[in-house]
Chains A and B, each alone.
Chain A
Amino acid sequence: MSTMSMPSQAIPKDDARPFVEYAFVKGHFAWGYFWFMFAIIGGFLYAGQFLQAYLLPGIEWLSPGRVRMIHTQGVAYGFIANCFLGALYWAVPRLTGQRVTHKYLGYFILYAWNALTLISVVGILFGEAQALEWGENPVWIDPVVLVGLACAAAQFTPALWKTKGKLHYVSIWYFSGALAWTGLVYFMGNFGPEYWAVGTGGAALTGLYIHDLVGLFVTPIGWGLMYYFVPILINKPIWSHKLSLLGFWGLAFFYPLQGIHHFLYSPIPMYAQYGAVVTTIAIEIVVTTVVINFFATLRKREAFMVNSLPVRWFYTGMILYFITCLQCSFQVTLTFQKIIHFTDWVVGHAHLVMFGVFGFWIMGMIEYLWPKVTKAGEWYSNHLSHWSYWLMGIGLIIMFSTLTIAGLVQGYLWRDLAVFEASISASVPFWWARYFSGLMILIGAFITAFNMYKTAEMGRAK
């Protein structure tokens, strides 16, 4: 079986409950987009600090460091988690032929998750942060987050497991794996370094956590959704089922081992660092096969890149994914690490992957689903959607490339023992470029927010 198309199971006729709960897709997308705006306004504010132009100075609870933490927390828990949940509410029932576990559980997750995010943000602003990257939400809220994650697993896993037959479509493995991983990752990452593993050992666990949150939560759900949406939108089965098998199991095998590459040349024992470097390079090879699979699928359907905005978002994201992975297999080597670690290069990389890949995929999903779930049928303005695509796309590329160069400049100046101030002065032009590219992204984001609002209004009027 080299091609395996998606299952389309019969839905029992005597059950009047809606099969896909539009309210949850819509609710999670709306909240997710709200957090997206919130988070990037935070990022933009913080970027001003680098230009000695922080817009709200001298206010304790809006201190730049705190705003930086809500930027990344807002992106991860507000934007990405919400939008992924929304997309799962659409994809899982259709893929599996099963309803999600329960409607009330759905309402509970929707409100509880966003309340949690809000409490975390307020907690961070009022000085309750935990000193763990991606885990800055206050330590007292971590157990509640775990309950939230367990609820999400309870909502989707039964449907995935009940899927008929023994051979399931690739998206189902990705979702199933991710629902197992996320809670485990969160538990180890937030409690390990805080209570059980001191200092250097804690850093080893933090490394695993920083990376696993991207690799075992965001990446598998993102790819699972791509395997679902792309074939449907371009009306063609995925090119090779075997390659998708390699992609998933490669990820499951190598990804969890890589985290310590965030702390290379630290006092963590070298064998653990080597293990991380080798598996990181291995995964880059594996993910390249995934990208190849998707581009082979696109063959003879290239016109969709031009005509269909969702497909264009998806494939732009995939091109950027390929760049991310190529970049990563270089930057993870000890040679590159000497120069680029601690610099803006890494920040460029983070924006490329979190926004350029997963953010763009989410934009594509919103583009495709929002008119459907609001019952408007079409966007208020396609024109505005295109503006948003170009502003965000160009903005991101400027941001990524300038930060990458800035990283090299900083790294070499540090190695050459220039006074620290020299590296600051040399970075300022690049930080201005980031500021303006950030502004482009922000404008693009506002345009889509307006468009979404108007589209929802059209839907209500119908």
Chain B
Amino acid sequence: MFENAKTAFLFGGIFMFVVAYLWEGYLPLSHLNEMKVETMEELTADVLPEFEELAEVYPKEFKEYYGEPTSEAMAEALILGKKVYTQEACWHCHSQFIRPVSNEATRYGPVSLAKEYSNEMNYPHLFGTRRVGPDLIRENGKHSNDWHVAHFYNPQMVVPVSVMPAYVWLYDETVDPPVPNKKGMAIITYVQWLGSWLNKDGNKLNNTGKAPLADEIETETDKKLAELQNGDSK
């Protein structure tokens, strides 16, 4: 019976596929789904200082693109920023998770936790599988807005060996020096947002390399997930 086209289709094809999705898909999802999915409103309740700074530095342009630096405006910028990040395939060159190995916590910052991705900005997730450039999930505060403005316009101007492409179309080039356009401000807001949740209220986390940072874990679900995540992966 195992040498038959129908068995191969129904049992090998459909049944084994379903088994695999139950085991490697549904089971982890059933744990992860206990987390609450944060909405855009919750994410942008506090406006990023970097977003406000854009409004101060480019008042005229900012007003034209986003109006006032409100929560709604920031939500709009984040969504547009993610769109740029997707269409330019930044995610093929930059990952967005920190592993508990290879000194990554020292290089980048605290190891990633599942709950950091449980929000409306992560449909779909942007974990990535390649690091041509550095990981970006702890990008907030690493560089100033001005640095990013120069860097996206021409990465080699800032980092001479960089192999990152120049994104001149994210700028209004009719003025001198060029000013980020709507998409340019959006991508800067987006990368500055990455990891900003750890830096809130002076809550700078120390880089211990231990994933479940005790004071960061609030609910029972978070605690359980952190255990599942790092069982004994050390």
Q: Are A176 and B127 in contact (CB under 8 A)?
A: no
Given that A50-B132, A60-B169, A203-B127 are contacting pairs, would A259 and B12 also be in contact in the complex, using a CB cutoff of 8 Å? no
Given that A49-B165, A54-B165, A257-B20 are contacting pairs, would A271 and B228 also be in contact in the complex, using a CB cutoff of 8 Å? yes
Q: Name the interface residues of A324-379: CB closer than 8 Å to any CB of B.
A: 334, 337-339, 341-343, 346-347
Q: Are A194 and B100 in contact (CB under 8 A)?
A: no
In the assembled complex, the Cα of A252 lies from the Cα of B124 at a distance in Å of 28
Q: Name the interface residues of B8-41: CB closer than 8 Å to any CB of A.
A: 8-14, 16-17, 19-21, 23-25, 27-29, 31-33, 37
The smallest C-beta distance from B148 to any residue of chain A, in angstroms, reads 16
Q: Are B230 and A270 in contact (CB under 8 A)?
A: yes
Interface-facing stretch out of B47-55, B56-64, B81-89, B192-200: B81-89
Residues of B within 8 A of A174 (CB): 8
Q: Are B165 and A206 in contact (CB under 8 A)?
A: no
- Cβ proximity bits A268-306 to B, threshold 8 Å, 1 near / 0 not: 111110011000000000000000000000000000000
B204 within 8 A of A: no
Q: Are B28 and A184 in contact (CB under 8 A)?
A: no
Interface-facing stretch out of A62-70, A313-321, A383-391: A62-70
Q: Are B165 and A57 in contact (CB under 8 A)?
A: yes
The smallest C-beta distance from A1 to any residue of chain B, in angstroms, reads 9
Given that A252-B16, A265-B100 are contacting pairs, would A131 and B126 also be in contact in the complex, using a CB cutoff of 8 Å? yes
Q: Are B165 and A275 in contact (CB under 8 A)?
A: no
Residues of A within 8 A of B37 (CB): 198
Q: Are A128 and B87 in contact (CB under 8 A)?
A: yes
Q: Name the interface residues of A38-91: CB closer than 8 Å to any CB of B.
A: 49-52, 54, 57-58, 60, 63-66, 68-69
B214 within 8 A of A: no
Residues of B within 8 A of A167 (CB): 3-4
Residues of B within 8 A of A105 (CB): none
* A-side interface size class: 35 or more
In the assembled complex, the Cα of A131 lies from the Cα of B190 at a distance in Å of 15
In the assembled complex, the Cα of A252 lies from the Cα of B13 at a distance in Å of 7
A311 within 8 A of B: no
Given that A263-B127, A267-B229, A414-B102 are contacting pairs, would A199 and B119 also be in contact in the complex, using a CB cutoff of 8 Å? yes
Minimum CB distance partner of B90 in chain A: A65
Cβ contact of B87, chosen from A129, A185, A421, A425, cutoff 8 A? A129
Q: Are A249 and B2 in contact (CB under 8 A)?
A: yes
B210 within 8 A of A: no
Minimum CB distance partner of B1 in chain A: A166
Minimum CB distance partner of B229 in chain A: A267
Q: Are B13 and A127 in contact (CB under 8 A)?
A: no
A234 within 8 A of B: no
Interface centre among B12, B23, B133 (most CB of A within 10 A): B12
Q: Name the interface residues of B103-137: CB closer than 8 Å to any CB of A.
A: 103-104, 106-107, 112-114, 116-120, 122-127, 129-134
Q: Are B107 and A417 in contact (CB under 8 A)?
A: yes
Residues of A within 8 A of B7 (CB): 173
Given that A206-B124, A265-B99 are contacting pairs, would A342 and B87 also be in contact in the complex, using a CB cutoff of 8 Å? no
The smallest C-beta distance from A152 to any residue of chain B, in angstroms, reads 14
B163 within 8 A of A: yes
Interface-facing stretch out of A29-37, A140-148, A155-163: A155-163
Minimum CB distance partner of B13 in chain A: A180
Q: Are B165 and A64 in contact (CB under 8 A)?
A: yes
The smallest C-beta distance from A147 to any residue of chain B, in angstroms, reads 19
Interface centre among A60, A185, A245 (most CB of B within 10 A): A60
Residues of A within 8 A of B166 (CB): 57-58
Given that A160-B5, A245-B3 are contacting pairs, would A198 and B89 also be in contact in the complex, using a CB cutoff of 8 Å? no
B65 within 8 A of A: no
Q: Are B29 and A201 in contact (CB under 8 A)?
A: yes
A208 within 8 A of B: yes
Residues of A within 8 A of B87 (CB): 65-66, 127-129
Q: Are A198 and B24 in contact (CB under 8 A)?
A: no
Q: Are A275 and B86 in contact (CB under 8 A)?
A: no
Interface centre among A52, A193, A256 (most CB of B within 10 A): A256
A415 within 8 A of B: yes
Q: Are B89 and A66 in contact (CB under 8 A)?
A: yes
Cβ contact of A184, chosen from B17, B86, B103, B228, cutoff 8 A? B17
Q: Are A69 and B92 in contact (CB under 8 A)?
A: yes
Residues of A within 8 A of B17 (CB): 180-181, 184-185, 216, 256
B93 within 8 A of A: yes
Q: Name the interface residues of A130-189: CB closer than 8 Å to any CB of B.
A: 130-133, 136, 157, 160-161, 163, 166-168, 170, 172-181, 184-185, 188
In the assembled complex, the Cα of A338 lies from the Cα of B205 at a distance in Å of 23
Q: Are B165 and A252 in contact (CB under 8 A)?
A: no
Q: Are B95 and A199 in contact (CB under 8 A)?
A: no
Q: Are A248 and B8 in contact (CB under 8 A)?
A: yes
In the assembled complex, the Cα of A201 lies from the Cα of B32 at a distance in Å of 6
Cβ contact of B89, chosen from A68, A181, A267, cutoff 8 A? A68
The smallest C-beta distance from A78 to any residue of chain B, in angstroms, reads 18
In the assembled complex, the Cα of A59 lies from the Cα of B83 at a distance in Å of 18
In the assembled complex, the Cα of A185 lies from the Cα of B14 at a distance in Å of 10
- Extra contacts besides A180-B10, A270-B231, A343-B131 (14): CB < 8 Å: A65-B92, A176-B13, A177-B12, A184-B13, A188-B25, A194-B123, A198-B122, A202-B123, A210-B129, A267-B117, A270-B230, A271-B28, A414-B102, A415-B103
Please list the 5 inter-chain residue pairs (A to B) with the smallest Cβ-Cβ separation, ordered nearest first. A180-B13, A199-B117, A65-B89, A256-B20, A173-B8
Q: Which residues of B contact A (CB under 8 A)?
A: 1-14, 16-17, 19-21, 23-25, 27-29, 31-33, 37, 83, 85-93, 95, 97, 99-104, 106-107, 112-114, 116-120, 122-127, 129-134, 156, 159, 161-163, 165-169, 225, 228-233
- Can you list 29 A-B pairs with a CB-CB distance of less than 8 A? A52-B163, A57-B165, A69-B89, A127-B83, A131-B86, A167-B4, A168-B4, A188-B21, A193-B125, A194-B123, A199-B114, A199-B125, A203-B117, A204-B25, A208-B24, A256-B21, A260-B24, A263-B129, A265-B233, A267-B225, A267-B229, A268-B114, A271-B27, A271-B228, A272-B27, A343-B131, A414-B103, A424-B161, A424-B162
